[in-house]
Chains A and B, each alone.
Chain A
Amino acid sequence: MLEVHKINTFYGEVHALKDVSFTVEDGEVVAFLGANGHGKSTLLKTVCGLLPPSTGHIEFNGRRINHLPMHKIVERGIVYVPEEKHLFPDLTVRENLLMGAYIARARKEREKNCEMVFELFPVLEKRQNQIASTLSGGERQMLTIGRGLMSSAQLMAIDEPSVGLAPRLKMEVFDKIKEINEQQGLTIILVEQEVESTLAISDRGYVMKDGRIVFEDKSNNLSIDVIQKQYLA
Chain B
Amino acid sequence: MAKVTVDGIELEVPNGSTILQAAELAGKEIPRFCYHERLSIAGNCRMCLVEVEKIPKPVASCAQPISEGMVIKTDSDMVRKSRRSVMEFLLINHPLDCPICDQGGECYLQDEAVGYGSDHTRYHENKRAVNEKDFGPLVKTVMTRCIHCTRCIRFLSEVAGVPELGATSRGEEMEVGTYVQRALSSELSANIIDLCPVGALTSKPYAFTARTWELRKTDSIDVLDAVGCSIRIDAKGPDVLRILPRINDAVNEEWLGDKSRFALDGLKRRRLDRPWVRQNGRLVEASWEQAFAAIAQRMHNVAGERIGAIAGNLCDAESMIALKDLMASLGSGNLDCRQDEAALDSTRRAFYLFNTTIEGIEEADACLFIGVDPRREAPVLNARIRKRWLAGKFPVGIIGPSLDITYDATHLGDGPSAITALQNGDHEFAGALEAAAKPMIILGQGALARPDGAAILAAVWALGAKYGVMNADWNGFNLLHVAASRVGALDMGFLPASGAKNLAGMMQGGVDILWLLGADEFDMSRITADQFVIYQGHHGDAGAARADVILPGAAYTEKNGTYVNTEGRAQWGARAVMPPGQAREDWRIIRAFSELIGHALPYDDLPAVRARLAAANPIFGEIGQVRRLAGIDLTGPTGEGAFDAAPFRPAVSNYYQTDPISRASPTMAKCVAAHASPLASAAE
Q: Do A and B make up one complex?
A: no
Q: Which residues of A contact B (CB under 8 A)?
A: none
